[in-house]
Amino acid sequence: MGRVRLRDGAFRWAVYRDANDPTHLNETFLMESWVDYLRSRERSTSADTTIRDRVNAMHKGEGPPRVTYQIYARELRY
């Protein structure tokens, strides 16, 4: 997935192993903006779909892999 993410506009990509559960892996990637992320979803090729299907086939939990989104908080006002 790293090559796919970087080609689609991510400027950083990594996979982390959970220190408490070594069987749990977490993919992260950073994009310049939410709009860039949305555009990357529209540019998916058949080769990307094949890669994504192979990666998702490794998932062992119930249901699809959990996806979360974090957006950089430039200014937090409390």
Residue 61 has a pLDDT of 86
Average confidence (pLDDT) per 10 residues, the chain, 78 residues: 93 96 93 93 90 92 90 77
pTM: 0.81
CB atoms within 10 A of CB 10: 19
Residue 26 has a pLDDT of 93
H helices of 1-78, in order, are: 2-7, 34-42, 46-56
Domain ranges across the chain: 2-56
Residue 74 has a pLDDT of 76
Residue 73 has a pLDDT of 79
